[in-house]
Structure 1
Amino acid sequence: MSTLLPILDAADAQPGAGELRARSYELLEPLAGRTVVDAGCGGGRAVAELAERGARAVGVDLDPEMIAVARERWPGGEFHVGDASELPLETGTAAGYRADKVLHAMDDPARAVAEARRVLAPGGRAVLLGQDWDTIIIDSEDPETTRRLVHAKADSLPSPHAARKYRNLLLDAGFTDPVVEVHTTVFTDGIALALLHRITEEEGWLAEQAERARTNRIFVAVPLFLVAAQR
């Protein structure tokens, strides 16, 4: 199983996460009877929730293990192993497109947004959701080291600043009428420590954060950028 899946599951279970997903679905409405693709679908929760709202939801993920988990968790759902830059849909056949915490992992986010426009019919809507990796907020007694570690993690990703570019990526691809929102997720428990272990392996810095977690003093906040636009 992918080591990322437990982190995604924990994030999905955080207070407010369900409301944020629901907001992304709301921005894709109407859904009933329409095809919506979820690019980078992970464990498939959004595909299942979109299907519950009446959409023909199609989940696509590059990781075969993620797709296997999605098929096991949500029998009857439509899931495909595939690249967000080469979606398994005919041109102009989708009414909605959603990419949640995906574009930062791509070398060329603009290509994925262009692919979203290709599969969408005129009037279709795209929703992009994710974090800017340089804007993670962490309480620490060593802010200088914290800044260095956050920036180092960002620099290790293909497109760490994709989220701040969502609006312009959509406009550059020919989308119109963008709507921009920011929602912040706060972690104050063991999930925060697990997230920090994905940022760094620096033992001394992590020891302080582990003590914060033990004494209920850990604090991590992640601003999430939500941008929707029309084809």
Structure 2
Amino acid sequence: MTRQTEQTRQSTDDLIALLDAADRLPGAEKLRALSYDLLGAEPGTCVVDVGCGAGRAVAELAERDVKAVGVDPSERMIAIARNRWPEADFRLAGAYELPLPDASVDGYRADKVFHELGEPQRALAEARRVLTPGGRIVLFGQDWDTFIIDSDDPALARTIVHARADMTTSPRAARRYRSLLLDASFGDVTVDVHTGVFTGPAMLPLLTGLAEGACSTGVVTREQTDRWLAEQRARAEADRLFLAMPMFMATATAPR
């Protein structure tokens, strides 16, 4: 195994650990269930989960007697998903070229995916292709510019958030869900915001990732990063940490 391959594997494993932690956060299971309801995921329907990661949503949809297909562009992700849920249907593919026939699924779900896409319009064209007429689409994710973090140095916190956002392919995709869906000729478009408020140490890995990412760009110094993270750890220990994270959930109907 080459050094680059090892680094890629470690990066993927770190992402899986972060996603697993996110799945265990208060309210996460309820929001996943809401996304399934909005899809109309009833027994006998077929749903594709795009960017399925380690496959939890596919497994939960299968528990509803839904025929669920999970796709992800990461071989490592797909391997872990297949290991965790060996009876489920997982396929290696990206959002632009889904391994599905035209008009073959009743629902399309993408959770924390569109901020990674440089061409969201292309992904939505592919969603329209695979959805049956009148099929449902649900897009779910955070806007990377809208993490709300209490800090003794609010200017530094703001700089860290925006610097980390600028490292993301489409950091503001979530605020564009409605316009993107309308431009792609979807109908019945709605957008809701579900804001999680976190006050404990469980979110320290996320805050660390934000700060270290900002530091890697050179926008903030090592000293600033270490100082800010020390403050956040102290806040967590004193039960004074505060992070609010709005999650945007958009739903729409494919043209008939």
* Common fold by TM > 0.5: yes
Kindly name which structure, 1 or 2, has the bigger radius of gyration based on alpha carbons. 2
Write the mapping of 1:1-231 to structure 2, written as runs, cut at 5 A. Answer: 2-201=13-212, 202-231=225-254
Rounded Cα–Cα distance in structure 2 between residues aligned with 1:159 and 1:46: 23
Equivalent residue letter for 1:8: L
Rounded Cα–Cα distance in structure 2 between residues aligned with 1:22 and 1:216: 30
Q: Is the 8 A contact 1:192 1:219 kept in 2?
A: no
Rounded Cα–Cα distance in structure 2 between residues aligned with 1:91 and 1:57: 16
Structure with greater helix share of residues: 2
Q: Is the 8 A contact 1:181 1:225 kept in 2?
A: yes
Aligned residues: 231
Q: Is the 8 A contact 1:138 1:220 kept in 2?
A: yes
Query: Against the structure 1 CA distance between its residues 30 and 11, is the aligned structure 2 distance closer, same or farther, given a 3 Å change threshold?
Result: closer
What runs of 5+ residues in structure 1 fail to find an aligned partner?
Answer: none
Q: Is the 8 A contact 1:192 1:218 kept in 2?
A: no
Aligned-pair CA distance for 1:198:
1.2
SS at structure 2 position matched to 1:200:
helix
RMSD, matched Cα: 1.0
Rounded Cα–Cα distance in structure 2 between residues aligned with 1:210 and 1:62: 35
Aligned-pair CA distance for 1:187:
2.2
Rounded Cα–Cα distance in structure 1 between residues aligned with 2:132 and 2:201: 43
Q: Which moved more, 1:181-190 or 1:73-82?
A: 181-190
Q: Tell me the percent identity.
A: 57
Rounded Cα–Cα distance in structure 1 between residues aligned with 2:226 and 2:120: 33
Q: State the TM-score, normalizing by the size of structure 2.
A: 0.88
Deviating beyond 4 angstroms after TM superposition, the runs of 4 or more aligned structure 1 residues are none
Q: Which moved more, 1:51-60 or 1:182-191?
A: 182-191
Q: Is the 8 A contact 1:85 1:115 kept in 2?
A: yes
